[in-house]
Amino acid sequence: MDYQPRPDEVAALVLEVAGLRGALAGIDAVTAADDALVRQVLEEAGRFVAARIAPLSRSGDEVGARFEDGRVTMPPGFRDAYRAFWQGGWPALSARPEDGGQGLPTVLECVLYEWLTAANHGWTMAPGLLHGAYECLRHHASDEVKARYLQKVATGEWLATMCLTEPHAGSDLGLVRTRAVPQADGSYRISGTKIFISNGEHDLTDNIVHLVLARLPDAPPGPKGLSLFVTAKFLPDGARSAVHCERIEEKMGLHASPTCVMRFDEACAWMVGAPGRGLGAMFVMMNSARLHVALQGIGLLDAAWQKADAYARERRQMRAPGPRAAGAPPGAAAADPIIAHPAVRRLLDTQRAWVDGARVLAYRTGLELDLARHHGAPERRAAAERWCAFITPVLKAACTEQAFVGASDCLQVFGGHGYVREWGIEQIVRDARVAMIYEGTNEIQAIDLLVRKTLPDGGAGLAAFFADLGAAGADAARFGTLVRLAAAIGRAAPGQAELPYRIAGDFLRATALALLGWAWSRIGATAGFGGARWDAPRRALADWILPEFAMRTAIIETQLAQAGAPPNPP
């Protein structure tokens, strides 16, 4: 069963719960999107994803990207599908009109990429970095470089990569060794080896643009010595650049996406941004890139749920407990569809609670990204920036973890049939695993939330973010608990340097659960979200998901008590 987007449900979440309606009015940089336009864009996106992208997922996994003599051949149909994607204007959905884009709200691009990933994670890796590269060039490149690359990347006519990781430098980019030597004409020569470069080489587009982190000859060691450069497979004069794919990795999943080892042999390149400011130039797009990974998690989990839900309605095994449904055949052998079994229903409803709640949070973050960039009032921009700063690591980690764990749960619905290729569910589990690693491992996200963003101001920023949510009741109590814990961790940390690092994962997870509860309160408070479709996941949230909040906070409290720094009473 291929993935089927649900534009009706998603449009309602975007407009009414996440609050797109009216939120961007008066912001000239973003095309005003009324209800009708939102629905139309999402319906067209849904049709495109279902018709062109979803059918290529299984063959993409089975055939995979092939490497031979430095060239990568993408799986059958990928090139045509990408051409249709580019020519349909989809890559440019939320790029600026002056760069060849449509200027639509970021949240619509968010939905598009969620669905693309749900339909075909491997294919979606190719355009997945486009928007980030576009933003990076737009903000940091010289006019000359922009003239060469900006529109090509904005429209997706050329695809782009991010060349950061090296064999010895993964989470710690300060260890990057690739060198960039300045030339008399203002260009640079780049030499070094980069690994884990998604779509570093392929046959989807006529050219491939590479953003490369490297070190000038006189640069200091560590992250402050890194600068950013741009090169491409073919240089402006049409010559082949000295950047080559040496091999592609054999991976657990995502076989349709070539993960390349790229060798730069004095490749001609140009600097993007200032010397020594390479990390900063890349981090400008960090929030939106991490949000995209969170959306991948949401999409993959929804795809896994769709498969398991459909299977559970067809497959019959054993009688379910309780009174028989009217019209059910009698006798011991009259097995029920397995969705009638309580453990299966619990499992499916739990995934729906995650998908729908996380959608509200992610879509709202898409809106806040636009507000942070373009709102007229500085205090509103600050609030939006705060939203994005705090929620992005939480969503990245929680959504990707749930995608993997939840897809594995969905696999379990199939029994032995889930472990074989036939139903496609095991592919989702394999594909989803990587999202817990890339764009900063989930452990890095937890440190980002607690150590980098929450503790430095004693938790004041986090408290302000929570206050912005206007929570009440149990939601407000959970946020209050987190603020008190953050303050206590902050008091304990100076004497216990390891403490925040040990419990950062619990803190992130508890924050994710509190936010999920808040999102479902929003859904519950919105007209039109009643009935079993929404009541069952809301109950699953309360019964099966939110109890973990108390466990996480208890773990943190025990560590604080051991450190002699218990939180203040509420």
Q: Which residues are catalytic?
A: 439
* Whether 396 contacts 403, CB under 8 Å: no
Of 413, 362, 429, 360, the closest CA to residue 392 belongs to 362
Minimum CB separation of residue 3 from a second copy in Å reads: 19
Identity of the residue, 385 or 557, whose beta carbon is nearer to a second copy in the bound complex: 557
Minimum CB separation of residue 523 from a second copy in Å reads: 21
* Whether 467 contacts 461, CB under 8 Å: no
Minimum CB separation of residue 417 from a second copy in Å reads: 8
Residue whose structure tokens are 């029920």: 336
| Pairwise CA distance, residues 115 & 110, whole Å | 9
* Whether 29 contacts 374, CB under 8 Å: yes
Beta bridge partners of 71: 68
Identity of the residue, 259 or 287, whose beta carbon is nearer to a second copy in the bound complex: 259
Minimum CB separation of residue 524 from a second copy in Å reads: 18
Residue whose structure tokens are 């939106």: 288
Minimum CB separation of residue 255 from a second copy in Å reads: 11
Beta bridge partners of 214: 227
Minimum CB separation of residue 151 from a second copy in Å reads: 32
Identity of the residue, 191 or 441, whose beta carbon is nearer to a second copy in the bound complex: 441
Identity of the residue, 41 or 436, whose beta carbon is nearer to a second copy in the bound complex: 436
Identity of the residue, 147 or 334, whose beta carbon is nearer to a second copy in the bound complex: 334
| Pairwise CA distance, residues 303 & 1, whole Å | 10
- CA-CA-CA-CA dihedral for 18, 19, 20, 23, to nearest 10: -140
| Pairwise CA distance, residues 346 & 137, whole Å | 46
Angle at 407 between CA 403 and CA 412, to 5 degrees: 155
Identity of the residue, 38 or 488, whose beta carbon is nearer to a second copy in the bound complex: 488
Angle at 123 between CA 122 and CA 124, to 5 degrees: 90
- CA-CA-CA-CA dihedral for 148, 154, 159, 165, to nearest 10: 90
